[in-house]
């Protein structure tokens, strides 16, 4: 006998026993009150009728109850599994698979938040220096290791409320929430120095020395994310032009987007 059958039978017997006792009590009380005789047939009726009716009815009810409970449990498990799958899918679509940072689309969506009057965020664009030579001379595995080190450094040197994303290839973005330019420069310098202090990544010959260039731009209340990205990109290009491994929040000229893209690949 299965545990389910045992539970159903046990509950049914308890209910039937209660029904038998109740039937005896009501029937015999009524017969005494009406001065009717209590014969053997009265005993048989009071015992058999509750058993013949109550036992199968209660068994059916408890069986249906168990079935409904099993269905509810399965639905709950299915709902939990579906929610976990949805959460995994949401994470995959909004995060970079290699670094675990935000994807470009999710990062830009967070840039486009509503800000109060006088509230500013600041965008940092971080790009490793001479990254193409790392891949060419030491292999893509060392390039991936470089990107993972930078990602961990960004997590370590920023606040929990800031947003960090991999914007494509080797470029990273940091959204400093409610931070103006002056403080953002200090944070950017901390990031640059922290990464500059990394031990060399083991590779061919002397290994890989990791440094980054950083460009930044403030985001005002009505700032357009694409415009801010362009300004920060020009500042990043300026940092590259002035020798790399430095922070820039002021671009000297509005160069073409093609030159900016070229600088990011260096």
Where are the domains positioned within the chain? 3-94, 104-264
| pLDDT tens by residue, 93-127 | 889 989 999 999 999 999 988 887 778 999 999 99
Strand partners, 217: 123
* 102 secondary structure, DSSP code: B
What's the pTM value of the predicted model, to 2 decimals? 0.67
| pLDDT tens by residue, 216-236 | 999 988 889 999 999 999 999
Name the token pair of 75: 């639905």
Helix-strand-coil percent breakdown of the chain, rounded to 5?
60, 15, 25
CB 169 within 8 A of CB 127: no
The pLDDT of residue 252 is: 54
The pLDDT of residue 260 is: 41
Q: Categorize the per-residue pLDDT at 133 as very low, low, confident or very high, splitting at 50, 70 and 90.
A: confident
Q: How far is CA 250 from CA 28, 79, 80, 217, in A?
A: 102, 52, 50, 8
Q: Report residue 228 CA to chain centroid gap.
A: 27
Q: Is the pLDDT of residue 264 over 50?
A: no
104-264: CATH architecture: 2-Layer Sandwich (3.30)
Known catalytic residues?
A: 170
The β-bridge relationship of strands 171-176 and 121-128 is: antiparallel
259 burial level (CB within 10 Å; 0-12, 13-18, 19+): middle
Strand partners, 164: 174
| pLDDT tens by residue, 141-172 | 888 989 999 999 999 999 999 999 999 889 99
Name the token pair of 187: 């944070």
């Amino acid at each position: 006998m299965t545990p389910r059958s045992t539970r159903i039978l046990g509950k049914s017997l308890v209910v039937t026993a209660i029904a038998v006792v109740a039937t005896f009590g009501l029937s015999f009380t009524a017969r005494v009150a009406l001065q009717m005789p209590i014969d053997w047939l009265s005993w048989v009726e009071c015992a058999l009728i509750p058993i013949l009716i109550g036992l199968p009815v209660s068994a059916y009810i408890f069986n249906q109850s168990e079935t409904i409970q099993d269905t509810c449990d399965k639905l709950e498990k299915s709902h939990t599994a579906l929610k976990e799958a949805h959460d995994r899918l949401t994470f995959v679509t909004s995060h970079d698979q290699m670094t675990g940072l935000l994807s470009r689309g999710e990062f830009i969506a967070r840039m486009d938040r509503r800000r109060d009057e006088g509230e500013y965020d600041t965008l940092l664009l971080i790009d490793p220096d001479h990254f193409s030579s790392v891949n060419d001379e030491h292999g893509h595995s060392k390039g991936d290791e470089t990107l993972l080190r930078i990602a961990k450094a960004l997590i370590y040197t920023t606040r929990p409320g800031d947003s960090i994303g991999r914007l494509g290839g080797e470029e990273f973005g940091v959204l400093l929430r409610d931070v103006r330019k002056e403080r953002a420069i200090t944070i950017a310098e901390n990031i640059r120095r922290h990464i500059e202090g990394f031990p060399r990544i083991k590779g061919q010959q002397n290994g890989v020395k990791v440094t980054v260039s950083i460009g930044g731009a403030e985001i005002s209340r009505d700032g357009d994310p694409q415009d801010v990205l362009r300004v920060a990109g020009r500042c990043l290009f300026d940092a590259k032009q002035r020798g790399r491994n430095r922070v820039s929040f002021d671009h000297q000229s509005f160069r073409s987007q093609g030159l900016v893209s070229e600088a990011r690949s260096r």
